[in-house]
Amino acid sequence: MSKRKLSKQQQKRISERHADIVNNLSEAELANAIAAGQLSQELIGTVIANYGKFADVEHSDQQIYRCGVRQNLAAFAVGDEVVWRKAPDDTGVIVAIHPRHGLVWRQQGKQKKLLAANIDQFNIVCAPIPKTNLLLLDSYLVAAHYFHLNSIILLHKCDLLNADAKLATQLDYYQVMNVPMLQTSIYDIGSIKQLCLQLQGKNSIFVGQSGVGKSSLLNQLVSGANARIADSTHLHGKHTTSTANLYHLDQTGCVIDSPGMRDFQLDFLTRTEIAAGFVDFKAYLEKCQFRNCSHQHEPRCGVIDAVKHNHIAHWRYENYLALIKEK
Ligand code: GDP
């Protein structure tokens, strides 16, 4: 009689059960397992999905291994490079995390929730439909500045630009701040090729309002992204709710799709950190009379002066005030 073939979901459940066994070993038992050769030598891999107690680690052979995450391991994120050991059943255990750059996180109560690691670039997606929220766009720029990441604005669905005639001109303002902008549409293959060039060799995150086209862009850039999304949806609920995933671009570089970025808030930043993220204010900050000037009501404030003289756009200043409210 032929062996019954396990479904993908059954295989994953079994590997999770195996990884959980390694998770629950004591330090001594783990050391014994290593000494007895039950776990491989140390290997290097990249975390491509993080499920909390488990993570999918991609090895240099491009195979993906479901790994246990032991409780004493420091917090890590998708994109982290990790040291791991493989068990004979092709599951594994993560034992250490390499130093990283470009860590993106958000505050969850008193804790930092890590969203993505080793990120180089924020791709801030906006579109004529749904109507672009410039306050949200500004908050993403502030966040990128805080995390020391480059930003690029993607004016997506540019085939619909006549639905918001003013948008492209309004976004021109950001060019003054040297934020590159690219117009894209899934119906314009040339624009997608341009975007590929911008992303080449970088690790990126796409952020933006729901409905602006982030998933559609991802599907254009990564062959098979749809399949991976469907797969994680099947196991872990709607993919937009829980799991961050790393996708290799068809050329070099990767995109991390992190649902935690979708309702990103700046409430953990101080007023000064928010002001620093408004890079068009920078030239005027030193003209403020008070070193701790909040740029709201103080006399001889360089920023308020610059707004009065139209050196800083009024709507940018309004967005700054909105972001520092209640600080
Ligand atoms: P997300 O919520 O940001 O991930 O947005 P989706 O990728 O789900 O896209 C939302 C809607 O916009 C879908 O109906 C897409 O088909 C549509 N869409 C995506 N890209 C484009 C585009 O370039 N032009 C137009 N006209 N529609 C697009």
For 118-175, the pLDDT digits (tens) are 999 999 999 999 999 999 999 999 999 999 999 999 999 999 999 888 999 999 999 8
CA 115 to CA 34: how far, in whole Å?
31
Amino acid type, 19? A
What is the atom index within ligand 1 of the atom nearest the CA of 219? Answer: 7
Tens of pLDDT, residues 41-84 = 999 999 999 988 889 999 988 899 999 988 888 999 999 999 99
Ligand 1 atom nearest to 184, measured from its CA: 23
Whose C-alpha lies nearest to ligand 1, atom 19? Answer: 213
Q: Kind and range of the H or E element at 113?
A: strand 111-116
- Pair of tokens at residue 233: 């949806």
Taking the CB of residue 1, how many other CB atoms lie within 10 A of it?
3
- Identify the residue whose tokens are 């797969």: 231
Is residue 239 a contact partner of residue 233, using CB atoms and an 8 Å limit? yes
* Ligand 1 centroid from CA 188, angstroms: 13
**pTM, rounded to two decimals:** 0.86
User: What is the percent of the chain where pLDDT is above 90?
Assistant: 60
Rounded to the nearest angstrom, the distance between the alpha carbon of 314 and the centre of ligand 1 is 31
Give the pLDDT score at 48.
95
CB of 156 within 6 A of ligand 1: the answer is yes
Quote the tokens at residue 287. 């003209």
- Cα–chain center distance at 291: 34
The tens digit of pLDDT for each residue in 26-45 reads 888 888 888 888 888 999 99
The strand pair at 92-97 and 64-69 is best described as parallel
Average pLDDT, the chain: 87
Neighbour tally for 303: CB within 10 Å: 26
Model pLDDT for residues 229-259, shown as the tens digit of each residue: 444 444 333 344 457 889 999 888 999 987 7
Average of pLDDT values for 190-214? 93
Two tokens, residue 135: 């306050």
Contact 176, 204 (CB under 8 A): no
Q: In the prediction, which pLDDT does 55 show?
A: 93
Task: Report d(CA 259, CA 263) in Å as an integer.
Answer: 8
Give me the pLDDT at residue 240, please. 43
Pocket test for ligand 1, best of 126, 216, 258 (most atoms within 8 A of CB): 216
Nearest alpha carbon to residue 52 among 76, 79, 81, 25: 76
Residue owning the nearest CA to atom 9 of ligand 1? 213
**pLDDT tier at 17, thresholds 50, 70, 90:** confident
**Using only C-alpha atoms, what is the Rg of the chain?**
23
| pLDDT of 193 over the 90 cut | yes
Helices 134-146 and 314-324: angle between axes, nearest 10 degrees:
70
Give ∠ CA 222-251-160 in degrees, rounded to 5.
50
- The tokens describing 252, both together, are 């070099």
- Please give the pLDDT value at position 269: 92
**Residue 216 Cβ < 6 Å to ligand 1:** yes
Q: What CA–CA distances, in Å, run from 30 to 22, 25, 34, 69, 125? A: 8, 6, 6, 13, 45
Q: Which pLDDT value is given to residue 289?
A: 96
Say whether the peptide bond before residue 130 is cis (omega within 30 degrees of 0): yes
Residue 284 — pLDDT band, cuts 50, 70, 90?
very high
Å from CA of 271 to ligand 1 middle: 35
Amino acid residing at 273: E
Paired tokens of 193: 């090729």
